[in-house]
């Protein structure tokens, strides 16, 4: 894998931090949301939407870090150091 250039990182960071950006929810998560709506559980569907949107944003942040650091799991190094 080639290292990410500074310009590519800046572009990805700007896209990630855009307050209007929506990170895609996994299809199986969307199915659970749709099922809750179909059953009339709008409160549950709204909660699931927020949970899965936060999950997607977290995954996008992880991908951004991995692209920048060049490591598969940059957080794992910190866990090992604390030991």
Mean pLDDT, range 11-35, rounded to an integer: 80
Domain that holds residue 23: 6-72
The predicted structure's pLDDT at residue 73: 56
Q: Is residue 79 part of a domain?
A: no
Count of structural domains within the chain: 1
Does this model's pTM top 0.85? no
State yes or no: pLDDT of 35 exceeds 60: yes
Across the chain, mean pLDDT equals 76
Q: Is 27 exposed, middle or buried (0-12, 13-18, 19+ CB in 10 A)?
A: exposed
Q: Is residue 55 part of a domain?
A: yes
The predicted structure's pLDDT at residue 26: 87
* d(C-alpha 62, C-alpha 20), whole Å: 19
**Of 60, 61, 56, 62, whose CA–CA distance to 33 is shortest?**
56
Residues 6+ apart with CB under 8 A from 41: none
Q: Is residue 33 part of a domain?
A: yes
Q: Is residue 13 part of a domain?
A: yes
Mean pLDDT, range 55-76, rounded to an integer: 68
């Amino acid at each position: 894998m080639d290292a990410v250039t500074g310009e590519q990182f800046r572009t990805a960071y700007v896209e990630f931090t855009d307050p209007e950006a929506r990170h895609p929810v996994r299809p199986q998560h969307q199915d659970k949301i749709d099922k809750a709506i179909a059953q009339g559980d709008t409160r549950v569907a709204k909660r699931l939407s927020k949970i899965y949107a936060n999950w997607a944003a977290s995954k996008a942040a992880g991908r951004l870090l991995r692209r920048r650091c060049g490591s598969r799991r940059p957080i794992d190094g910190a866990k090992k150091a604390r030991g």
